[in-house]
Chains A and B, each alone.
Chain A
Amino acid sequence: MSSTAKDAPKRLSSMEALSSMEAFSAELDRIMPVVTHVARRFAPLGDAEDVIQEACLAAWRYRHRFDPEQGSFQTWMVRILLNESYKTDGRRRRNGLLLGRLADRSHFSTQPPHGDSDRQLETLIAGLPRRQREVIELYYFVDLPVQQVAELLGISSGTVKSTLADARRRIQFRLAGEETS
């Protein structure tokens, strides 16, 4: 059975645990379901696989910087992945291949699991300010617990909860506006 994001990630007890390639690869394999979801939510169109490759290689290269006291391996890895996603997104914007601020949703739009209702929701999420979008994506779609979202974004759990509430209010407000128009 594959691990889910809400499974408490096993913390590596020491830096030595990551120094072996086998142990490192095993840790990567364990968190790949979450890593894949994050990449598919945050990386630009068609770049999820490349972003994962870059992030894994960067993590392996800089494994000595991982500090188990600062958070789980999954959190550290996802943070690298988010950075790679934003860097890739920036490169594509500079290359003129990506227009607008909206995140790509091709993986969603080609096979919408719940038709127009989810599409409408996705559009509203894409229009949120970046921090609100990040917490919504990580909490509801990647299915990370509040504590991990907080660790990942370097903010407190309380801030995650209030940001979630603000984002929900904004989505609700826009949904109501669209339904009445």
Chain B
Amino acid sequence: MDIDRRLHEAGQRWRESQGPALQPPDLASLGEDAPPRQWRKALAPMAAAAAVAAIIFGFVSVNGATTGAPQLPAGSLTTPVPSVSSTSTEPSTSAARRAAAAAAAAEAARARAAAEAAVYLQSFLASWQKDGLNAAGQKYLDPSMRADQTQGNLVLIAGTVTSTQPSTALGGWVSADHFTVIANFDLRFSGNFGAWGNGVSSRFVTFVRSSAAAPYQITFATGP
């Protein structure tokens, strides 16, 4: 078939396969002179840093005032001095900070895991290409995936992991030793390609390992 016609038809099919157009943002909610979001993005961490600095500074000041106060003679009666900082608000502030720090740490851990997953999947593809699927499967795949011997004769001639993203499907994130990502591949097979397909494809990939030192055992799924 003429390549020009083939591209036109592929483009037409792609457009028809797309859902409705996305909606633009509601500009009215931003006000007439709303600053660009890049600015707001830059200001947010600065504001957060300033807030943390203010809390720390306040804490040190109050502590300094307490420790710097003259010592009273032992046994003397004293009236409790009200603290400068509000004890009723401190727990909630600390809790909010702890929650924010925990959320940031979890987010960073997921991003690290997704990046690690990409490298691990790439090494699986390299092993598959070099040694065949059966041999690679023994090393990388969950036993339930290894049992599928019908896929063993698939000859991978090139394979690239184009992207990975943390997924909430199939258990999502349990820990750094048990999580699921959506991975995009570009695979080329010689001859039969089984359920993989030649070219670009996506899979849900679950990574499980018994400890941080153990290798992951991975499971592929086409859908959640």
**Cβ contact within 8 Å between A95 and B111:** yes
B194: shortest Cβ distance to chain A, in Å?
12
* One of A7-15, A43-51, A67-75, A149-157 at the interface: A43-51
Q: Which of B1-23 contact A (CB under 8 A)?
A: 3-4, 6-11, 13-18, 21-23
- Specify which of B4, B18, B162, B201 is in contact with A36 (CB 8 Å cutoff): B18
Residues of A contacting B182 with CB < 8 Å? 45, 106
Q: Find the residue from B4, B25, B190 having the highest chain A CB count within 10 A.
A: B25
**Cβ contact within 8 Å between A52 and B24:** yes
Given A36-B21, A100-B161, A171-B3: A140 touches B184 (CB 8 Å cut-off): no
**Cβ contact within 8 Å between A108 and B27:** no
**Cβ contact within 8 Å between B27 and A106:** no
**Cβ contact within 8 Å between B184 and A105:** yes
- Specify which of B8, B23, B186, B201 is in contact with A126 (CB 8 Å cutoff): B186
**Cβ contact within 8 Å between A140 and B11:** yes
**Cβ contact within 8 Å between B15 and A21:** no
Given A102-B160, A109-B202: A57 touches B36 (CB 8 Å cut-off): yes
Residue of B nearest to A54 (CB): B37
B161: shortest Cβ distance to chain A, in Å?
5
Q: For the complex, is B115 an interface residue (Cβ under 8 Å from A)?
A: yes
Given A106-B184, A123-B200: A118 touches B25 (CB 8 Å cut-off): no
Residues of B contacting A107 with CB < 8 Å? 18
Residues of A contacting B81 with CB < 8 Å? none
Residues of A contacting B35 with CB < 8 Å? 61
Q: Which of A38-66 contact B (CB under 8 A)?
A: 39-40, 44-46, 48-49, 52-54, 56-58, 60-61
Q: For the complex, is A180 an interface residue (Cβ under 8 Å from B)?
A: no
Q: Give a binary string over B135-167; 1 marks a CB under 8 Å from any A CB, 0 the rest.
A: 000000000000000000000000011111100
A102 to B159, CA, bound (A): 12
Q: For the complex, is A79 an interface residue (Cβ under 8 Å from B)?
A: no
**Cβ contact within 8 Å between A116 and B199:** yes
Given A97-B111, A171-B3, A172-B3: A119 touches B21 (CB 8 Å cut-off): no
A89: shortest Cβ distance to chain B, in Å?
10
Given A54-B37, A119-B200, A120-B199: A98 touches B163 (CB 8 Å cut-off): yes
A147: shortest Cβ distance to chain B, in Å?
17
**Cβ contact within 8 Å between B199 and A122:** yes
Residues of A contacting B14 with CB < 8 Å? 108, 113, 118, 141
Q: Find the residue from A40, A57, A107, A119 having the highest chain B CB count within 10 A.
A: A57
**Cβ contact within 8 Å between A123 and B186:** yes
A44: shortest Cβ distance to chain B, in Å?
7
Q: For the complex, is B118 an interface residue (Cβ under 8 Å from A)?
A: yes
Residues of A contacting B190 with CB < 8 Å? 181
Q: Could you pull out 18 A-B pairs where Cβ atoms are within 8 angstroms?
A: A35-B21, A36-B21, A36-B22, A37-B18, A44-B163, A60-B30, A97-B114, A97-B164, A99-B164, A102-B160, A105-B200, A106-B184, A111-B17, A119-B197, A126-B186, A141-B10, A141-B14, A143-B15
Task: Give the top 3 A-B pairs by smallest Cβ distance, nearest first.
Answer: A119-B199, A140-B11, A113-B13
What residues of chain B have their CB less than 8 Å away from a CB belonging to chain A?
Answer: 3-4, 6-11, 13-18, 21-25, 27-28, 30, 32, 34-37, 111, 114-115, 118, 122, 160-165, 182, 184, 186, 190, 197-202
